[in-house]
Every structure is written in C-alpha cells, then in structure tokens.
Structure 1
C-alpha cells in the first residue's frame, strides 16, 4: 500500500439483470460515457453497480424466467481507506495476493441474496460499508440533498478543515448527554424516592434477618429426606416389636409362645407326643425373645428427635417464602439483596451524586460551548472559501450571474454544533439570494450539485465517481460546460457518466452504447464499447431529430476531435 492511489472499477459483469441477459463491460481510466436511446436501459448499469455494492434491491430485478441475477465487479488500485476497511473485515491478504478486488452478488428469484468478496461470503451490511469507500454515485435523486437545508451543514463541514475539532465536539456532546441522562434518572420525585427507600430497607432487612447461606436449602432438604426415611424405619421396627412384645393391656407373640410352651410342658408326663412339640415351642420362644431384644436394641440406636424435624421444616418454609418474593434460589435472593443495597446506597447518596454531576455537567457544557464557538468561527471561514469555489465552478458551468450565500444562524447546541446552515442562491443579477428550493430549476440543481462535488473533490479519497444523467434539464452550451468539468475531473480519477448529451458523449475517453432489441419474443439490452466510427455515429444520432446526415456526422467527428 502506498497511501492514496487511484481506485478504478475496471470490469463489470452482469447476467440476467432486468433486460440484460449477459454482458461484460471493460471500463478504463478517465471519462467513461454511456449513451443510448430513451428506454434502452441506461439506468440498469447504474442499478447493477448499486446492487454489487450492497444497496437494497428486490427480486423484480431478476430477468424473467431465470433463477437468479449475478453481478460481479473487479476493482484495481485500492485506496488506503478502502484497504483499511478490507483489513477490518479480514479480506486484505486476499486483495494483496491478487492485486485486485473481486466482488460478486447474486439475487435469486425468491429474493435471497448472496454476496462474496474475493470468493468469501460477506454480509450485505459489510459490503455496503466497503462499497462507500470504492465508488461515489451521483444520481438525480442526490439533488434532493440541496433541497433539504438540514443537509447543507454536512456539505460545509466536509469542505472545512476542522474535522478534528468536530470529533472533539461530538465526544463532548455525547458526554453532556450522558450526564444529563444520569441526572434525570437520579432526580426522581421526593415522595417516590422516600417510598422506594422504605421498600428497599424492608426487603434488605427481611433477607438479612434470615441469615441465608448459599446451598443451605439443598442440605436441609437432604436432611429432611433422611429423617423421613428414618421415621419409616422406626415405625416398622416399633410395629414389629409391639407384635412380639405386646402392648400394655395385651400380650405379644413372645408371651403367647411362652404360654403355649408351659401348656405343653404340663402334659408331657402323661402325653408322650407332647415332648416333641414342647421342645420346638421352647426353642421358638427363646428365638422370639432374642428377636424382640434385637429390635429393641435397633430402636435404641435411632436418635429420633421431633424437635429437629420441626426446626428443619420451619427453616425450609422460611426459605420458600423468600424464594416466592425474591428469587428461585438462595443465590438469587442474596444477589437481589445486593442489588437493593446498591440502589439504596445510590438513593441515599443521590443528593451528593447529583451535586457532583451538576458540577461535572457545568464544566463539560462550558467546554462544549467553547468548542461550538470555535466551530462556528471555522464555519464562517470555510463559508467564504466555499462560496468562492462553488461560484467559480457555477460560472464556468454557464451560470455567470449566480450569487451564493451561506446563511449561518445561531441555535441551541445540538449534535452538530450551535449553527443552522442553509445555502441561499440567486441565479439572476440584482435578485437577493433565496433558498435553493425556491429558485433553482432541475438543470440548475444538477449544475449546482456538480459544482459542489468538484469543490469537495480534494476532500474525498474516493476516486471513482459515477454521474447518472447529471445533464438532465440542460443542453447546448451548459451541457458542453458540464462535459468539460467531467472531463477535467477525469484527469486524476475515473469518472463514469450516463448521459443523453452529445456534448458530454463527445468528450468521453471510452464510449459505451446501450441498445435494446427484441428477439424471439424477448427483450434484450446489450452494452457495446464503440470504436472511433461508432462514436461518431452515436454522437450524430444524439444530435439528430430525424435521420443522420453527412453534415451531422462531420459535426460529430469535429466534436470528438476537438476533445
């Protein structure tokens, strides 16, 4: 990269865009002119460039009965600002490898859009950003900028040499806005403030008095489940023990077994078979006593405390109530409490903070006014030079009696300073300057805009300029002057002009003819680069009202040679 060099759109490939089936346009340095009969589709070329640079479009631009439109643009000699934009999005190495920038965009019939830079996908938003560093397109709608006084300040600021001052002002203005916003937030109604303090204090106290610990609820719930399981075990052991040992007013299995054993013992002497049953009952009675004793020992091992259960349930109930108010977990509750403390502290210290902000705001606003005053002075200086430059350009463009004035009114400081700027103009000698919208015709607007663009030319790194029918509303001598200005601008940059003026077409370094014809019930638009003879015939055609005569051809050739 070697600083500022020429940006050039060297090739434009269009396929299935509106009435263009397929064409490749090889553009050159200097002045490239496009001409053609009315309705031939001259604007389609400009539309294609807009599309490939990321402008909004619709599926209607896709050629009928085709699936998609494709536009590819190839640029060489990228400027430093364009390269920095490529670098920002990671495309700089691809450009350095190829020494040219390839941009492609496809629009499907279903309105889907695909864009690529150097073959890699890119969003349309990024493409649009990069596109603004490559080409400056001036169409008829751009004249509307002149009819909107609020846009005039941007034109003057672009011309002026106080960019750094504007940047300082914008930063200061942003700071003032932020301070005012914070002060407004703090300066709430005193009654609302008191109510808010009471609520925050209550919520903080309620959460603080609970002495919550992170994860406490999880541990308590686990303990609760454990106790529930113990309760179930104890109930089973108690039932088994009671079945064996009995209750206070009735005996259990042990006592009944002992009674049965005694009954058999009494009859063993008189009933021999009773000995076998007696022996079994005696052993069973001993085993039941042993089992009952084991159960009693197990019951003694369980430390069952109802108070512990009650305490756990009470604590969990307290935590669940807090969860319903302040969060789904203890951590969220504690976090909410911390936010409340910070807000409470802010409210309690708001008077102090408000005083600090007021002091800071006064300092920043004073600095803002100082910067605004300096910008006002710089705009006054720039206005004088701007008027001289634009007036000189307009006089050359066949507006010799033009008088330009920059109206500068003082307003309340805003994002652009403390000035309201409006360009006033008079096109007739002796008439006082008035707003452009009330004075200028369509042709005059085109020349005023061209004069302004020429005045701003040295302030702009963009070296490829496109003018879409800037000669609208002018002819003859005025058109000749516009052509000379375009040719002059093309000495150190690439200029592309769509025109219906023979005077401008004759001054072109490269001339392209846009023609529309019908074949097989379809409409086709072709773009052809004209040779010398082709240029003569096309310039003569533009001049003619009926048919091309030898005299017209001779005049056309003289116009081209005179270039």
Structure 2
C-alpha cells in the first residue's frame, strides 16, 4: 500500500507531503490546479523517462519519494532484488525515490541504495498500477493478461505441472544438443586422435622411463672410464702387478698387533676390528670384481637406447612436456574416440526420452489451456456485465486465444479484446482510443479480478470521462467495491464518485510573489462538503449546493 508521497520542486509543487490511507481515496480540484502533477510524480516512480522541463523553475533538481507498507511474501521482482542486494525491509516499509537534475540525468534509490530505472520500473509495477497512461497499465501487456487470467482461474496447480514437464523436456533437449556438439567435435578430431593414439601406443611409453634411459645411456657412454677405475680399485684392494694390496697390508698389520697383544692383552680388540675390516674389504673387492666382469659395451644397445629416448622426446614435444602428460593425453584421446560410439547410443536413447517428454508436456499444456479457456469465458462474462453498469451497454468483451510454441507459460497467448459499439470489429483493449473508455474497461476487468490481481494500489484517472448520472454512480460503486480488496486512488471531477471515498484530497493553486504553487490537503466534514458543492455546481457557498453535497455525502457513506 502507498503510505506517503513526497514531492519536491516538481512542476508547480515546491514541497508537498501526501499521506495516503487504505481503502478509497479521491483527489479533486479545479482544472489546472495540479492534479495531473501528482499523477506525473507517481509515473516517475514507474520508470517513465524524465523531462527537464518538469523541474520547478529556478531549481536544479526535483525529487519524488514514496513509502510503501509491505509485508512478506514480497512480489517476485522485489524479492529477487532484496536477495541479490542483501537488503532487508525494516518496519514493513519500502522507500523508493527518484531525482531528476537540470542536466538531464536522474538517479534512483531503492531502500536507500542506488539502483537503476529498469529495477525501479520492475519493482514499482508490482506495487501500483495507473489506469490512464497506457505505458503503465499492467493489463495492456499480453504477459500480464495471461498471468491475471491464471490467477483468476486458479490455474496454479496445472501451471506447475506443465512447468515441470516443460523444464524436463527442455533439459533433455539441451542435453541432446550438447551431446550432438560433442559428437560433432569428436568426429572432427577423430583422424588426429586416431593417429595420436596409434603413435603413442606403438612407442608405449612408461612414466619415468625417459629418466631411466637417460641414466643408462650415460653409464654406457662412460664404459671405459668406469672399467678403468674399477680395475684400479681391484688392484688396490687385492694386489696387482705393482704395489701392495689393501688386504695384504691389513693382514700384515693384524699379525703385528697380535704379536704385541701377547705382551699387552688390551690390544686384542684391535686385532678383532682389523679382522672385521678385512672381511668387509674382501666383500667390497668381490662385489666390484663381479660388477666389472658383468660390464659389457654394446654399440647396438647404446644406439637402441638413444633411439628410444629420441622417440620419447618426440612424444613429449607433440603431446605433453612430460611422459606423464603424454600418457594422460593418450588416455583422454582414447576416451574421446570411444565417446563417438557411446554418443551415438546416447543420442538414440535421448531422442526416445524427448519424444516421451514432449507427449507429457503437450498433455499438461492442453489441461492448462482448457482450464484457462473455461476461466476466460467466466471472466469475459463478468467484465461484460460490469461494462453494462459503467455506461457501455452495447460493449462486447472477449478473451481471444492463439496457440504458440510451448514456452515457460504454456502454449497460449491471450488478448483482451472489446467492441465498444455495435457494428465495429473487436479490437485489443490497448488499441481503444478513448482514455475514459479505457479506464472503464480497466475498472471492469480489475473489479472482476479483485481477488486475484496482485498489484495492491490501483490509480485511476479519466475514469469519469464522458459519463454522468446513474453511470457515474455505478462507477463510484465499482470503485468502492474494489477498494475493499485494494487501495484505490482516483482523480475525478465527479461529485458522485468523490462522495463515495474514504479519504478526500483537494489540490488547489496559489500565487505568491508572482509564483504559482500547487498545494494538496486532506479535507473532512465542512471542508469536504464545500468541495463536493463546488464540484456539483461551481459554487461552494450556496445553500442549495451545500445541501445537495451534504445529502450526497450521507448517501455515499451509507
């Protein structure tokens, strides 16, 4: 519900704060007093493009700010915005504002945080609806027409069932498309992958093999140096053509210490240690001798190893920097080649699943469509009846269906159409020329949708255009009935409508220091009686006008 509207330096309004109540509110005033300014200010909050000319003369900017009373669950766009921005609504009050500057720029604030005009429009249209300016009438949108029909017909269960089937169908279609793309890509790469797999399989690399072969090549290439060094070591350990061996020296040393130990037993421990050393050196000698005997130099083996190493290096250059990467590429390539065969099988399965899902989706769509068509007949009948009471006695209202490709909302597209006068063709309500006629159509639709229309605040302008007498009274009654489920704000020139309102706001113009000012105030009791009298006859002081006004107010309250 719209609780408060603040307007600063907008057109003829310098500073005004308007407090709104729930129920039925009327805004009246003489022509030119500034009623349309209030409507223009509200339109700014619906995201309308700004005009620098609307800034009050001599001022640099104009600001419109509104406060809405709102409780969970929040409308979808608002809920999504609050979650996305991490904003909470405190004290059940949502504040939106818009400032326009004389340089043509504007700024938007939602709950104290800068936002965009697009966000403002999306959220505000969930909070209020203006039936006057076509750009802001929610029921002129085909999508909204379908949404309110679903709400009116309580189609939510059928809609959920269809949406579930539709999303499953779409998921399968998306999977099919992805697999087709994967298969197509795999086929494009198939020749290269088969060549790579064959090449790698032929060489059959093992992780770490290149390091092992590098070490083997290094050893074979150093055969002479190793053989010569080992031969020298063997001679040093066991004796050779020149010099005394280590083993001979240890034996001699042991004999001498053993002789000394006969005189000094404490030296016996060294005899034991030398014997152990001799045994260890003997073992080392035999191991080195055997190793040297096993050594062989083969030019062919060296060539083989070097050739193998070159093959491994070539694989690393083509398919990865390491043999581990090459082996990984090999496995991945095999998998992708196998994918082609598997994908063909999957494609066949998916196509069968999609056919089944399509049948289910179509079935659910038909159920939803049938319920919509039944609801549309009832709604159209109600709207026609209400139009009769609103002075459009010959009007024919219809909801026309056209079938479209399955989408998130089903297979239906609807158009609310009307023939206002006999002999004319049916036309979409968005093409109705008369603003007053359009407002009455909207009033008839909205009162029929009173329980299902989610927009809480409804604003009507021109609803009284070209009507009077009993029709005006019928319009007033419809507005009063609508105000039981919505906050209704009406700009009117008719006393019969104004007298039905719960709250009465009057706009008047003052001139001070050669400057014009539009002022808004709430009137009650005698002030309201005088305003109703003015609306009746243009004279707010004659006893006849005041008496008629008093009677009208008494009737309106009954």
TM-score, normalised relative to structure 2: 0.66
Partner secondary structure for residue 33 of structure 1 = strand
Name the counterpart of 1:526: 519
Match of 1:107 among 76, 99, 104: 99
Distance 1:311 1:59 in 2: 81
Distance 1:315 1:138 in 2: 79
- The Cα of 1:393 is off from its aligned counterpart by 2.0
Distance 1:441 1:132 in 2: 23
Query: For residues 211-264 of structure 1, what are the alpha-carbon distances to aligned partners after superposition, in whole Å with 9 as ceiling and x for unaligned?
Result: 9999999x9xxx9xxxxxxxxxxxxxxxxxxxxxxxxxxxxxxxxxxxxxxxxx
Worse-matched range after superposition: 390-399 or 150-159: 150-159
- Does residue 58 (structure 1) correspond to residue 50 (structure 2)? The answer is yes
Distance 1:537 1:180, change over 3 A: same
Name the counterpart of 2:461: 468
Distance 1:36 1:446 in 2: 20
- The Cα of 1:475 is off from its aligned counterpart by 4.3
Query: For residues 120-149 of structure 1, what are the alpha-carbon distances to aligned partners after superposition, in whole Å with 9 as ceiling and x for unaligned?
Result: 666766665654554344333169776776
Unaligned runs of at least 5 residues, structure 1: 1-7, 224-306
Name the counterpart of 2:440: 447
Query: For residues 436-486 of structure 1, what are the alpha-carbon distances to aligned partners after superposition, in whole Å with 9 as ceiling and x for unaligned?
Result: 458885433222211111111111354332223333454444333222211
Partner secondary structure for residue 29 of structure 1 = coil
Name the counterpart of 1:292: none
- The Cα of 1:115 is off from its aligned counterpart by 1.7
Distance 1:511 1:320, change over 3 A: farther
Written as runs of structure 1 = structure 2, the 5 A alignment for 1:205-354 is: 344-354=337-347
Query: For residues 371-430 of structure 1, what are the alpha-carbon distances to aligned partners after superposition, in whole Å with 9 as ceiling and x for unaligned?
Result: 01211221232123213322332222233344434444555544433344344444457x
- Does residue 489 (structure 1) correspond to residue 482 (structure 2)? The answer is yes
**Contact map agreement 1:443 1:472 (CA 8 A) in 2:** yes
**Contact map agreement 1:36 1:42 (CA 8 A) in 2:** yes
Match of 1:391 among 384, 397, 415: 384
- The Cα of 1:69 is off from its aligned counterpart by 3.5
- Does residue 382 (structure 1) correspond to residue 375 (structure 2)? The answer is yes
Name the counterpart of 2:27: 34
Written as runs of structure 1 = structure 2, the 5 A alignment for 1:536-555 is: 536-543=529-536, 550=542, 551-555=544-548
Query: For residues 487-517 of structure 1, what are the alpha-carbon distances to aligned partners after superposition, in whole Å with 9 as ceiling and x for unaligned?
Result: 2222344211223333322322222222345
**Contact map agreement 2:183 2:339 (CA 8 A) in 1:** no
Distance 2:472 2:202 in 1: 87
- Does residue 435 (structure 1) correspond to residue 419 (structure 2)? The answer is no
**Contact map agreement 1:143 1:449 (CA 8 A) in 2:** no
Query: For residues 269-305 of structure 1, what are the alpha-carbon distances to aligned partners after superposition, in whole Å with 9 as ceiling and x for unaligned?
Result: xxxxxxxxxxxxxxxxxxxxxxxxxxxxxxxxxxxxx
Distance 2:40 2:201 in 1: 68
TM-score, normalised relative to structure 1: 0.65
Aligned length: 460
Unaligned runs of at least 5 residues, structure 2: 215-302
Distance 1:377 1:420 in 2: 13
**Contact map agreement 1:517 1:523 (CA 8 A) in 2:** yes
Partner secondary structure for residue 483 of structure 1 = helix
CA RMSD of aligned residues (A): 4.8
Distance 2:492 2:436 in 1: 13
